[in-house]
Amino acid sequence: MTVDDERVSKARQGDREAFRRLVEGETRPLYAVAARITRDPGLAEDAVQEALLNAWRHLGDFDGRANFRTWLHRITVNAALEQLRKRSGREQFLADAGNADGAEDFLAAHADELPGPEQLAGGGEIGRQVQQQLERMTHLERSAFVLRHHEGQSLEEICGVLAINVSACKQAIFRAVRKLRGALEPLR
Amino acid sequence: MNSIRDDDLVLYHYRDGLTAGELAAIGQALRESAPLRARYAVLCATLQAVDAQPAATADAGLEQRLWQRWEEQTGSDGVPDRRHADTLRGAGRVRHRAGARPLLRHAATALAVVAALGVGFLIGRQPAGPQAPTPKPDVAAVGKSELSSRVLDAYVAAHLRETEGVVLTAVNSDSAALLAGNRELAAGLIDSNRLYAQAAARAGNARLANFLQQLEPLLIELANPAGTASVQSSDGLRDYVDKTDLLFQLRATQARIEPQRPTTI
């Protein structure tokens, strides 16, 4: 039994200190993923808060098959999505509008003019453009992209979290990448 | 694969959503085709640009706030169990149902505003001054006043959230269909904004009343833009929103007046 397993077991029996030790190292990574999805510090903090509460109250549902951290991340992602849903009931409207972007190819070949690592890391114009494009995404597009790109979840897992089918999930990620591609446009 | 689309390259990059045969075919095509490699390089550069963005970091007080609130929220909890889940899911359903019935919501809003205005009006009509003896606080009257204030706050918070959504859409969207819908939403918010401003003024909340009054010209402008959604007009709006810190003000006012909400899973 690992230290985490022991803490999970104790926390299930109501040991608050064990739960706290189990989770406390994770709060900042959880905040980072919530902030990526919500793009709002206040909503991200609310999402983590809700995730901690839900994790504590639903610890009995954790069956130990998944890693505890993975389980906690999943709860946080759901809490972040819930924050977005609370904030805007017009997501579907926005998502539908996004479908009008078209499915044509968007990766025009200008490889020789691509930014180098130092430009990418240096922030500045590219960073601003990326931020702007992330803001432009619908909640669905951004959530699907964050889960696939940053969280490394499979399309199937993302479908489960976002309650959409595989085709819709793929399209959301494609639209997100298409918008991000626009961030490099001014450099051409 | 006969023609490899950019979307296929996205799936190839994540090694997800493609069969083993399709992955192999794209890999082979990438080795053989320089133009395809160039397209793939653009995709990789795009995603690297995303990776290069620093992750959001919270301030130093995050943990303290989280655990303090967690202690408050779970203070009376015993052993974690499933009973809470049912309660929480029930609360979520109630809210979901409310969200699915806009007519009912609008009717409730109208009733609440009328009630808040009525209570505010009655409070305003009460004689005040040195001749009015106040030996003991009237608990019932205080309760009603607080209740009407909370009702008003809850509806104003929802109103501000909708206003924020309308502003964000107007600033960020290029879609004509979306902007047309957004104009209708803005038009629908003008009257309620005026009512809430009056109710806030009657309740003695001058700060909120002023803020809402300042929103009215913007809502009118969003509902009746000078021309069609031109680049110039959206740029002008963006500048206005940036310069006045409008979104921040909207969120800050929401946070100030929003009642504590129960959590859901």
Q: What is the pLDDT of residues B121-147, one digit of tens each?
A: 555 555 444 444 444 444 454 455 666
Please report whether residue A63 resides in a domain: yes
Domain end position, chosen among A87, A117, A147 = A87
Same domain, A48 and A14: yes
The amino acid that residue B226 corresponds to is A
Q: How many folded domains does chain A comprise?
A: 2
Closest-CA distance of chain B to residue A13, Å: 5
Same domain, A129 and A183: yes
Contact B80 A105 (CB under 8 A): no
Q: Could you tell me if residue A133 is inside a domain?
A: yes
pLDDT at B264 over 60: no
Residues A128 and A71 in one domain: no
Interchain contact B182–A (C-beta under 8 A): no
What string of DSSP letters covers A22-44? HHGGGHHHHHHHHHHHH--HHHH
CATH of the domain at A42: 1.10.1740.10
Radius of gyration of chain A measured on its C-alpha atoms: 19
Q: Are residues A70 and A110 in the same domain?
A: no
Angle B141-B146-B151 (CA atoms, 0-180°, nearest 5)?
Answer: 125
Indicate whether A150 belongs to any domain. yes
CATH code for the domain in which residue A120 is found: 1.10.10.10
pLDDT confidence tier of residue B80, bands split at 50, 70 and 90? low
Are A118 and A56 found together in one domain?
A: no
pLDDT above 50: residue B85: no
Which amino acid makes up residue A149? H
Q: Which domain holds residue A154?
A: 106-187
Backbone angles phi, psi at B227, to 5 degrees: -130, -160
Asked if residue A74 and residue A133 are part of one domain, the reply reads no
Alpha-carbon distance B210 to B193, whole Å? 11
A30 and A73 assigned to the same domain: yes
Residue with tokens 């500048």: B239
For residues A82 and A9, membership in a common domain is answered with yes
Q: What is the per-residue pLDDT for B88? A: 36
Q: Is residue A95 part of a domain?
A: no
Decide which of A25, A59, A87 is a domain's last residue. Answer: A87
Place of tokens 């040991």: A15
- Name every chain B residue with its beta carbon within 8 A of the beta carbon of A57: 74, 77, 80-81, 84-85, 88
pTM beyond 0.80: the answer is no
Within-domain flag for A97: no
Q: Is residue A35 included in any domain, yes or no? A: yes
Q: Which of B46, B52, B78 sits opposite A177 (nearest CB)?
A: B46
Residue A94, pLDDT > 90, answer no
Q: Percent of chain A, pLDDT > 90?
A: 44
Chain B residues near residue A35 by CB distance under 8 angstroms: 55-56, 58
Whether residues A72 and A129 share a domain: the answer is no
CB pairs under 8 A between A and B: 185
Task: Name the range with the highest mean pLDDT among A30-44, B174-188, B211-225.
Answer: A30-44
Q: Which of B156, B186, B159 is nearest to B170 (CA)?
A: B186
Per-residue pLDDT tens digits for B178-210: 787 788 888 888 888 888 888 888 777 888 888
Q: Are residues A83 and A110 in the same domain?
A: no
Higher pLDDT, B40 or B243: B40
Place of tokens 């979104």: B247
Does residue A100 belong to any structural domain of this protein? no
* Residues A41, A83 within the same domain: yes
Tell whether A46 and A75 lie within a shared domain: yes
**Residue B112: its pLDDT value, please?**
61
Of A93, A100, A130, the CB nearest to B49: A130
In-domain check, residue A99: no
Q: Domain boundary residue among A33, A56, A87?
A: A87
